[in-house]
Structure 1
């Protein structure tokens, strides 16, 4: 016979009591009693909040934002760069701007500001523009890989000069030929800078 299962409802009630206690406990510990939301909820920060802070600060120094991550674990990660190459001073500048904007709340967050790793995939158009004339590796959505010199960036596609070995009719050895290929950005999975040490 269908009906109320006392045992199941008792378990549900116990779970509810634990959650309720946790919220009240957090409020009490943080002196947020009454009708205010729990401290651990109120003190969360959104990615857009950090973007707003960093955008104005980056503009002051001629920097561009590569990435911003704000996790529920209260870790804020900001990646910056500029066309001349961002340095430690730039990272410190942005970090201090974030700290100043968050005020006393900064004690609750772990803030990390860095420049992009040389082997990391491009995330923003400025990285393409910065890399014109340099060698890149492109991985397409279908798995194909191409290496060559980045020539142009249009916002929708890139032009790359690639070299490949071709066997000409009537010749025994393959010859190196250079050709220009256009790749649509929506077909590209990743683009990385090729690092060469001279």
Structure 2
């Protein structure tokens, strides 16, 4: 069976050549099925997947050990798992579930090494009198507290 360390080394070498790409997931399953998921600071094209596939495949010997290889981009509805993914999605709507079971939905406005910032508008009762007013809300959420975060795609 192929070693995950061997494949990871090949992925890392490919990523050294393409610093705009980064690894999201790497798995080696039964029958040496290699599955690689990548993302990029500017998105991922088919050519990016081909590049990464070649970086791996051309450095493994099928005579020594047979394998199948699947290189894909992180899908639009896939959860965000890397801080780099948050950075590239600034300005987009995000849905976040926290470890404390809180749910937030807003525009990702800021990220740093420790947390992300979401902003949204909410209608709340007026402090005095009847009716409601629109107020700006903000939540700063530490990455360690994020259970799941997904980009919200509206049609």
- Relative to the length of structure 2, the TM-score reads 0.90
Deviations 1:70-100 (A, max 9, x none): 2244211111121211111111111112111
Number of aligned residues: 154
The answer for the alignment partner of 2:140 in structure 1 is 182
Contact 1:165 1:174 in 2 (8 A): yes
**In 2: Cα distance, 1:106 partner to 1:149 partner:** 50
Q: What 5-or-longer segments of structure 1 have no aligned partner?
A: 1-43
Q: Give the deviation of 1:105 after TM superposition.
A: 5.1
- Which one has the bigger helix percentage? 1
Q: 1:105 to 1:134 in 2, by over 3 A?
A: farther
**In 2: Cα distance, 1:138 partner to 1:56 partner:** 33
| Aligned counterpart for 2:34 among listed residues 56, 61, 76 | 76
Contact 2:2 2:65 in 1 (8 A): no
Q: Which of 1 and 2 has higher RCO (CA within 8 Å, sep 6+)?
A: 2
**In 2: Cα distance, 1:54 partner to 1:103 partner:** 16
Contact 2:38 2:71 in 1 (8 A): yes
Secondary structure of the residue that 2:116 maps to in structure 1?
strand
Supply the RMSD in Å over aligned alpha carbons: 1.7
Asked if 1:98 is matched to 2:56, the reply is yes
Contact 1:146 1:162 in 2 (8 A): no
Deviations 1:141-182 (A, max 9, x none): 122210011122222211111222211123332222112211
Is the radius of gyration larger for structure 1 or structure 2? 1
Q: What 5-or-longer segments of structure 2 have no aligned partner?
A: none
Deviations 1:8-38 (A, max 9, x none): xxxxxxxxxxxxxxxxxxxxxxxxxxxxxxx
More off after superposition, 162-171 vs 184-193: 162-171
Secondary structure of the residue that 1:103 maps to in structure 2?
coil
Secondary structure of the residue that 2:62 maps to in structure 1?
helix
